[in-house]
Structure formats: C-alpha cells, structure tokens
Amino acid sequence: MIRVRFLGTAASRPTVGRNVSGIAVQREGDSILLDCGEGTQRQIMRFGSGFSFSHIFITHGHADHFLGLPGLLRTMGLQGREEPMTIHGPGATVELLRTAVRMGIERLAFPVEVRGLRHGDRVGFDGWAMHAYEVDHGVPALGYALVEELRLGRFDVEMARRLGVPEGPLFGRLHRGEAVEVDGRTITPDEVVGPPRPGRKVVYTGDTRPARTTAEMAMAADLLIHDATFGQEEKKRAWETRHSTAAEAAQVAARAKVKRLVLTHLSARYADSPKVLEEQARAIFPASVVARDGLEIEIGYRA
C-alpha cells in the first residue's frame, strides 16, 4: 500500500486551518517527505506520520517549502536518531539547504547529506524510484514522481495445476521466471504467468504553472498532486506569480489521463471556501478533490 498524508496544504503562509507545504509518503517499509515548510514537524506529530523518513525531497527554495528543516532535524536528533538522512533539491538550492541543515545541527548525531538534482535525475529505492522533472515556477524548481517497477504478471494457479505442477516451491520459481521440470516435461513461465503489470505512480508538482513536463510525467498516474493556488477568477494573478488555478490543474490531469487529482497549495483567500476550487476543477476533471491538512489517500496495487 502507498499512503500519502497531506501535512500542509496552504500557499505561502499558514492559516488557522492549514499549514504550509509538506506531504508524507509511505510505501511498504520506505518513508519519504515531500517539501518541509515551517511547522512540518508539528504536523507530523499531529497526524501521526512518524519521523522515520530516510529522504526528503524539496521542490524549490521558497521558504514555505523548506523552512521546517532545521526544527525537524533537531527533533530527530533529540529523539536519538542514528540513521542517515538525504535531502534532495534543485541544484541551485543546495547551499540554501545546507545552511538550513547547519541551523539544526546543534543536536545532530546522524549523518545528513544534501544532494542537488536536475531534470531527468532518478533516485532509486527497492522496487521503485523517485524521478525529478523540471516545472515552471520562475525559479529553479522540480516536481517529483514516485514510479514503481513493473510487477510480476498474474500467476494462473488453475493452469499450473492442469499442467501437473505441484503446489509449493515450483509455483514460486515459475512466477519468478524460471522454467521447471515436472515428470520429465519442461513447464515454462509463459504457460502460467501473464504479462508484467504496471506499478503505481504518484506525481507531485510543487509550485508551478501548468507544464507539458507534468502532463508527460503524470501520464496514467494513480495520483497527481498539483498546485492550485487560485481560482479561475484569479487567472491573471496565477500567471504573474507562476502558479496554477484549479481549472488549469484539472486540464493537466485530463490531458495526462490520471486516475485522481488532488489540489493543494491553496491561497489564504480560499481558507473558508475551498469548495469553489473543487467545483472549478471537477467541471473539467470529475475525479478532483481539494486537499486538507491531515487528508490521507491510500493507493492499492493495480489490478
């Protein structure tokens, strides 16, 4: 199961009900953090996401996306953390992020590495990877895509039985792609295993205008998390500040044929009326929802 927990969904500054950007993502035994705005550690405690992140991916160098790093790292140190941490961000933000790390280094007893990424870079994990891609925010900025490797095809138990394969280790060997011998006959994997199945994909844009790169990276994604700072009535403002409207985010989702769209990074002017953004998006892409702090989305395996 992939679990996506929204820790902060406000743009630029916190409001009474929303903190600034932060998203916790868990996949099997891996845990990562996407952006770390001021107060993210408080949100982690509030929503029970835990502090076991091995990697933090920062989209760009604006304060509402990284200023929570010093406090978060210091708290991890006070908790006795020893496991290493890697913080990733656009190459142009490396020195800024290193400065943030130094601000929290007082209690650090674990290694922290800051790595610069660029469009097309890939950070590999066991069975999946994070892909960095360029977005359009007027400053060096990256979006990130969690992309799983292909899964094994479905194992046809009934066919295996008909072919005389005894249940047990031989099933596993066939499923892993090995041919087996049964009563002097060779049974090959293609006789009992279907074609490889696509893994899951989650894409997070960070702050951006609608971008071709997002539509390409998010093609057929299970979940697209897109900047939706403004409503359509503020389209000019969105263009000037290099953000997106909810409707523009929905257009990207429709173009990419994603399964679900979550709108985040909401301007404070929508603090009391986020439904207008949801309505504008759903008019274009019905499977749209406005994120709220604490929202958790679970993504199961594809059929």
Which residues does the annotation mark as catalytic? 64
36 strand-pairing partners: 22
Half-sphere exposure of 147 (CA within 13 A, CB side): 18
Within 8 A by CB and 6+ apart from 264, the residues are 6, 9, 21, 23, 225, 226, 227, 228, 290, 291
Count other C-beta atoms under 10 Å from residue 127's C-beta: 13
Buried residues in 65-77 as b, exposed as e (16+ CB within 10 A): bbbbbbbbbbbbb
The secondary element (H helix, E strand) that includes residue 264 is strand 261-264
Within 8 A by CB and 6+ apart from 35, the residues are 8, 21, 22, 23, 57, 58, 59, 65, 66, 206
Amino acid at 277: L
The secondary element (H helix, E strand) that includes residue 236 is helix 235-241
Torsion of CA 266, 270, 274, 277, to 10 degrees: -70
Amino acid at 53: F
Within 8 A by CB and 6+ apart from 242, the residues are 136, 137, 138, 207, 208, 209
Between CA 131 and CA 116, with CA 1 as vertex, the angle to 5 degrees is 20
Please say whether the beta carbons of 146 and 124 come within 8 A: no
Count other C-beta atoms under 10 Å from residue 109's C-beta: 10
Say how far apart CA 199 and CA 153 lie, in whole Å. Answer: 11
